[in-house]
Amino acid sequence: MPQSIYEKYGGFSAISRIVLDFYDKALDSDEIGDFFDDVDMNRLVDHQTKFIAYLTGGPADYTETRLKQVHAHLGIKDDHFDEMKRLLADSLSEHGMTGEDVGAVLDAIEQRRNVIVV
């Protein structure tokens, strides 16, 4: 059985570092930074780490219904989603992921655009 992206890059602790780096970028973003005002960032980082772990083959599970519920009230548009993907791609690359693996993660996220974007 081939190694998952999750296993290949060091599991939960490595994904957690990537997510922390991503949120440093997101909080500084003029495009999406405001989405994180008054948000419990520790909780959000924990959830996002589990989500990215799931997308990369780790031990978590997220349903489209749940993703839709948690994002529905945010008013996320396509340009916000695109900015998130760009910042995540930067973080994944900066942490040593190959272009192919970054593409696989972004493809998995893109498949969920319709439940996150309003």
The pTM of this model reads: 0.93
Q: What is the pLDDT of residues 28-46, one digit of tens each?
A: 999 999 999 999 999 999 9
User: Quick one: what percent of the chain has pLDDT higher than 70?
Assistant: 100
Q: Which two tokens stand for residue 72?
A: 């529905």
The CATH superfamily label for domain 8-116 reads Globins (1.10.490.10)
pLDDT at 2 over 90: no
pLDDT at 102 over 90: yes
Average pLDDT, integer, range 59-68:
87
Among 71, 76, 21, 20, CA closest to 46: 20
pLDDT at 63 over 90: no
Q: Are 96 and 57 in contact (CB under 8 A)?
A: no
